[in-house]
Amino acid sequence: MRFGVLQFPGSCDDLDALAAARRVGEAELIWHARRDLGGAEAIVVPGGFSYGDYLRAGAIARFAPAMEAVIEFARAGGLVLGICNGFQVLCEARLLPGALLGNVNLRFTSRQVRLEVLDTGTAFTGACTPGASLSIPAKHSWGRYYADEPTLDALEARGQVLLRYAPGENFNGSLRDIAGVRNERGNVFGLMPHPEHAVDELLGGSADGLRIFESMRLAAEGALA
């Protein structure tokens, strides 16, 4: 099982995502200017400030050559995980519905949050325990999930909301406490909290984020088998 982790100028959590992916499989960085994904079986679009994010978070990165390859890969059913800035990029690329707006407190906020897993039968949550919550850090300025009401209703009806902030944990003001959503097909998933920063008990006391990577490995290997 081989992960590819995109690397844009301005990516910050790229090496963290690489290290997290390597806990469950092989992983390589993919430079933004490359148009091929080097045979990766799953893609992680990591956190950070791609190209400085001076226009709108993720708005430039979606045009990167590597993202063109990721869009094709996703259309062919490949697994794509977007974390924080990566989630923003996937929304900008229309691989995921909705958009991320500025936090309601108008500040960059870094906090460990508890997340409820709504469906443990997906390619990104299959290794999670039903009914259990995840403790994962979130850190961002633009993390308020937004979509219009009909879209939100449809997302919920189709079970596309995979993670919700537990009561009291939604500091950014995301609508319906949405922390992570998948596409309709179920092969693309984005979330604002950082699972790659919760893979080692030593660093922050939680390894819950590892379940996301483990789920992807199981799904990819299941698909291959």
Partner 1 sequence: MSAAALELPSVEDALALGLTRAEYELVCEKQGRAPNQVELAMYSLLWSEHCAYKHSKKLLRTLPTEGRHVVMGPGENAGAVDVGGGLVCAFKVESHNHPSAVEPFQGAATGVGGILRDIFAIGARPIAVLDSLRFGEPGPAGGAGGSAQAGGAGTRARYLLDGAVAGIGHYGNSIGVPTVGGEVYFEAPYEHNCLVNAMALGLAPRERLVRSAAAGPGNALVLFGASTGRDGIGGASVLASAELDHDEQGAAAKRPTVQVGDPFEEKKLMECSLELLERGLIVSLQDLGAAGLTSSACEMASKGAVGIDLDVAAVPLREPDMQPFEIMVSESQERMLCVVEPADLDAVLALCAKWEVGGAAIGSVTDTGRMRVFADGELVGDMPVSALVDDCPLYDLRPEKPARPVYGAPAATAGVTIASAPRAILLALLSSPNLSSRRPLYEQYDSIVQSRTVRRPEQADAAVLALPDGGALAVSIDCNARRVAADPARGTIAAVLECAANLACVGAEPLGTTNNLNFGNPEKPHIAWQLTEAVRGLGEACRALQAPIVGGNVSLYNEGATGPIYPTPVIGMVGRLPDARRAGRLGFARAGDRIALAGPFSPTLPAGELAKLLGWELPDGLPELDLAAVAAAQAAVRGAVREGLLASAHDIAEGGLAVALAECCLAGGLGARVELGAEFWAAIPPVVPGPSGAPGAPGPELLAGALFGEAPGGFVLSGPAEALERLAESVPLLAIGEVGGAGLEIATGAQPIAATLDELAGAHGALAGLFG
Are 7 and 30 within 8 A, CB to CB? yes
Are 48 and 13 within 8 A, CB to CB? yes
The 3-state DSSP class for residue 43 equals strand
CB atoms within 10 A of CB 113: 24
The 3-state DSSP class for residue 203 equals coil
DSSP 197: G
Provide the minimum distance between the beta carbon of 217 and partner 1 in the complex, in angstroms, as a whole number: 19
Are 169 and 114 within 8 A, CB to CB? yes
Nearer to partner 1, 20 or 74 (CB): 20
Nearer to partner 1, 105 or 129 (CB): 105
Closest to 80 in 3D by CA, of 8, 222, 185, 9? 185
Distance CA(218)–CA(127), nearest Å, equals 8
Are 62 and 6 within 8 A, CB to CB? no
Tokens of 179: 């922390």
Provide the minimum distance between the beta carbon of 16 and partner 1 in the complex, in angstroms, as a whole number: 5
The residue written with tokens 């290794």 in the block is: 127
CB atoms within 10 A of CB 95: 22
Would you please indicate which residues are annotated as catalytic (active-site) residues? Answer: 84, 194, 196
Provide the minimum distance between the beta carbon of 50 and partner 1 in the complex, in angstroms, as a whole number: 9
Nearer to partner 1, 9 or 25 (CB): 9
Distance CA(113)–CA(208), nearest Å, equals 11
Q: Which residues bind partner 1 (CB under 8 A)?
A: 9-13, 15-16, 19, 48-49, 51-54, 107-111, 137, 139, 194, 196-197, 200, 202-204
